Structure 1
Amino acid sequence: MSDSSFLPDDLKDEQSTERYSALKNYISEDIRRLALILIIAGFIGLGIHHFLLCITLGLILFFALQFRSLYIVNQWISQHSQEPPPDLSGVWGALLFNVYRAQRRERMMQAEMVGLIDRAQSSLMALEEAVVLIDEQHCIEWWNPAAERLLSLKFGDHKRQVLTIIRHPDFIQYFNHVNDFPDGIVVESSFHDGRYTQIKLTRFGYESRLLVAYDVTRIHKLEQMRKDFVDNVSHELRTPLTVLSGYLETLSENEEMPQRWKRAFDQMQQQTRRMNALVNDLLLLSRLENESLQAKNQIIDMAELMNQLFDDAQGYNTEYGHTLNLNLESHNDLIGSDMELASAFGNLITNAIKYTPSQGTITIAWQDRGDEAVFSVQDTGIGINPTHLPRLTERFYRVDSGRSRETGGTGLGLAIVKHVLAQHDGHLEIESKEQLGSTFKAVFPKHRLHRPESEENFVDTE
């Protein structure tokens, strides 16, 4: 029998492992054993004149030893596979060693995975954010302690449908249309009065979901305070600005005013108009935020609106001398609020006119793009550095503060545009190159479009 001992905890050194796992060594060992048995049986057979009988008995002995080893291997695999394997020689020894080594590797990997899972679970348990695992049948599988505080989950909720526990209509809508809410939703807690919770769902596997929720009550209150402050201050400023504007206009028209005073009054009027524009934009933003949940389902005649915008642009363009073009290439109308969309489109047009040097070209268009429709304003202005594009729609963000002061910009125009488009399920695309001009595109999805019946009938008859 070969010297092939197996260690339960350590697999000896690399050299020993290679020696024991080399199958050819074990096969040669079995061959040597068979040869030894046959030689001994042959000598005995020659001595007693029964050579073939002794050779046959030798073969039977060899196979009996092999069957015994097979029996031992089977017993170890079926009943004692967690223990060190028995010490066998030959092919069966190699088989036992390799099976045992594979089992040890698998156990080590399992131990590592269990440790990793334990660490992950411990970290999830320590989180202040609620974490809930939801299976493919929309039943709750697991949650951390924070979920008990935020979502009032309890022991009996295991394997219950999540929609029978969190019944807020906004959450049900979100759960059934996750892709429509990329940033999740904020809902008022049904379990704690005056508390607000941000909920984000992530799909994985076939239909399983990971729910993460955290308390945003403080952020919500601060945001509401900001809205109230802006709204109240804007309203409070409006009255004194109106009074100032009126008196300044009256005094400026006085022909007896000294020339050195007239310039000062003109500057005061200019700054008053600028503050009025700022207040009006702030009030508009406030109104848009407060009316965000109101239905916007008017059918807007885009041909009429585009012509109205074009006429207004021509009036505004008088002192700039640009060439204005109007392209109507879509027969679709829009579904939404005509006042809000007219304000957003007007902002894009006036920006293009203001920030394009004299004698430029402004093209206003309404076009189809696959299933979408696009309102675009293209100019031949000075363009915008690409580094500024991601922040253009932030409130009060200015690419060039000096240029904005010269043109009377408030820094809120694109913020208003973005807000209006978001409430109409649209988005803003900006393309710009310095010294080559800019293109602003308001893109609307298919469900916000309406084709007039006359146009449908016309297409059908064709």
Structure 2
Amino acid sequence: MQTTRYRGLIAELRRAVIIIGLCLLAGIIVGQPLAGLVVGNVAYFFLLFREAQEFYRWLEGKSSTLPEANQVLVDVAEAIHFIRVRHRKTKRRLQQQLSRVEKSTSALADGVVVIAEGDSLQWWNAAAGEMLKLEAGTDSGQAITNFVRDPTFLAYLDAKDYSRPFQLQLTAESTRVLQLQVTQYGGNERLIVLRDVTHVTQLEQMRKDFVANVSHELRTPLTVLKGYFETFEGISEMLPPNVAKGLGQMSMQVERMNETVEDLMLLSRLDESDTLKTTALVDLSALARRVMTAAQMLSAERHEFLDEIEDGHRVLGVETELYSALSNIAFNAVKYSPEGGAIRFRLRAKGDKLSFSVKDEGVGIEPKHIPRLTERFYRADSSRNRKIGGTGLGLAITKHVLLRHQAEMKILSWPGKGSTFRAIFPRLKDSIETVDQSSARTNVGASAED
């Protein structure tokens, strides 16, 4: 095994010994052994130099013959040839795979774009070319922001938070709406999948318009009915008992329908935009205490309330929307908690976040229902909810309000052990700096005392 591996080297050593040995022998015969040794080495290295030149010519493809006398170079050439053959096979296989990928992506209805560092376009399929009006011959290497000029898209790319897809309308004149999902891989390379969601967006807008119009049309007759029922309540003593009872039940149902219409109209207004057009500083600590006070009034002393609300926390937002969102969480805790149960209100800062939470000791929610609780009209237990009342829109409103305030809602619940609803807000930078400075002063003071 070893002999086969080193056969070229052994043959070359044998050749060197023969050449140098013959020259040394000739030198000894003429009485100049050192000169013979020098001549032998020079002759051997000259021969190696010529063979190396021929080998480089063969490597460059300028010669088809190898110096076959040098077995070492022959062995190297065989190894190189083997590597070349393997490389060609690998390259051919990769080209075939790339060709299949290009064909398959070309058949996709969704657009696929690959961008490199600097947001430069590297490759795209036919669908992406049609959506973004890209030309294969001229647009490769250009920045994708030359074709998608929405500033919010540039901010989305720079933020490098691609957990949510980005939706955009290419031009103000166009009705076409695209949804972009970005995936980062390798170094700074990104894969963008574009999907035409124009039809879905139009359907969603039709739904929003329908809900808004129906709610508006229902509001007037409900107001008229409510007015009549309030009038009849004033003369209920003059009416037969069965008529008075019927009018009372009808009044309750009208009131319930009116609440549903009001919530639908609020949702319609929230649906108009995912961002707030105007904001103001809101004292979240004071707002949380207002919500807790309202929940205590609804409870009518049937529950124990625990106040763990920290003072001095503020957020940017719309106070009326925030009150609606937080009160929905609080009122649900009151409705679903047994009499005598404890309800804890907590507001505290943690890092760059503010967390408002309401924890109850109610019936709890099965895990399978939690992901759908913020859907409109979704009820985990329809029979129990009918007894308790409500429109089924409260948590949907809360979710929309929190999204508009760059906040999120988390729900923890265990059947029979109660629930915790948490609203997490981004904390104002000046509040973080103030707290950090206060902490620093406290630490300095403590060190001085020590």
- TM-score scaled by length of structure 2: 0.81
The CA deviation string for residues 206-259 of structure 1, in whole angstroms up to 9 with x for no partner, is: 444433323221111111100000001111122222333344444455225444
CA contact (8 A) 2:166 2:179 kept: yes
Which of 63, 77, 85 is equivalent to 1:104?
85
Partner of 1:356: 337
CA shift in 2, pair 1:454/1:149, >3 Å: closer
SS in structure 2 opposite 1:157? Answer: coil
Please state how far the C-alpha of 1:370 moved relative to its aligned partner.
1.7
Partner of 2:94: 113
**Matched ranges for 1:1-400 at <5 A:** 22-27=4-9, 72-79=54-61, 90-154=71-135, 155-179=137-161, 182-190=163-171, 193-251=174-232, 254-318=236-300, 321-400=302-381
Please state how far the C-alpha of 1:84 moved relative to its aligned partner.
10
CA shift in 2, pair 1:35/1:356, >3 Å: same
One-letter amino acid of the counterpart of residue 177, structure 1? A
One-letter amino acid of the counterpart of residue 352, structure 1? A
SS in structure 2 opposite 1:362? Answer: strand
SS in structure 2 opposite 1:197? Answer: strand
CA shift in 2, pair 1:68/1:363, >3 Å: same
Identity %: 36
CA contact (8 A) 1:404 1:410 kept: no
Q: Distance in 1 between matches of 2:439 and 2:20?
A: 101
CA shift in 2, pair 1:127/1:264, >3 Å: same
Q: Distance in 1 between matches of 2:69 and 2:378?
A: 80
SS in structure 2 opposite 1:101? Answer: helix
Q: Which moved more, 1:378-387 or 1:323-332?
A: 323-332
Q: CA RMSD in A?
A: 4.1
Answer yes or no: is 1:407 the counterpart of 2:366. Answer: no
The CA deviation string for residues 302-360 of structure 1, in whole angstroms up to 9 with x for no partner, is: 34323322221111111x70111222224221210000000001000000001111111
Partner of 1:7: none
One-letter amino acid of the counterpart of residue 268, structure 1? M
Partner of 2:32: none
Q: Distance in 1 between matches of 2:65 and 2:174?
A: 62
One-letter amino acid of the counterpart of residue 284, structure 2? M
One-letter amino acid of the counterpart of residue 345, structure 2? I
Partner of 1:437: 418
Size of the aligned set, in residue pairs, is 438
Q: Distance in 2 between matches of 1:84 and 1:298?
A: 84
CA contact (8 A) 1:84 1:100 kept: no
One-letter amino acid of the counterpart of residue 163, structure 1? T
SS in structure 1 opposite 2:416? Answer: coil
Q: Distance in 2 between matches of 1:439 and 1:117?
A: 51
One-letter amino acid of the counterpart of residue 342, structure 2? T
Q: Distance in 1 between matches of 2:338 and 2:110?
A: 52
Q: Distance in 2 between matches of 1:176 and 1:27?
A: 59
SS in structure 2 opposite 1:255? Answer: helix
CA shift in 2, pair 1:229/1:452, >3 Å: farther
Q: Distance in 2 between matches of 1:236 and 1:183?
A: 36
Partner of 2:26: none
Q: Which moved more, 1:187-196 or 1:331-340?
A: 187-196
Q: Distance in 1 between matches of 2:47 and 2:73?
A: 11
CA contact (8 A) 2:413 2:419 kept: yes
Q: Which moved more, 1:128-137 or 1:337-346?
A: 128-137
Q: Distance in 2 between matches of 1:453 and 1:79?
A: 73
The CA deviation string for residues 281-318 of structure 1, in whole angstroms up to 9 with x for no partner, is: 11111111225444242111234323322221111111
SS in structure 2 opposite 1:79? Answer: coil
Q: Distance in 2 between matches of 1:453 and 1:249?
A: 53
CA shift in 2, pair 1:448/1:70, >3 Å: closer
CA shift in 2, pair 1:31/1:230, >3 Å: same
CA shift in 2, pair 1:447/1:144, >3 Å: farther
Partner of 1:13: none
CA shift in 2, pair 1:21/1:336, >3 Å: farther
CA shift in 2, pair 1:70/1:164, >3 Å: closer
Partner of 1:426: 407
The CA deviation string for residues 349-407 of structure 1, in whole angstroms up to 9 with x for no partner, is: 00000111111111112211122111111111111122222222122222111111111
The CA deviation string for residues 96-135 of structure 1, in whole angstroms up to 9 with x for no partner, is: 2222212222222222222222222223333333333333
- TM-score scaled by length of structure 1: 0.79
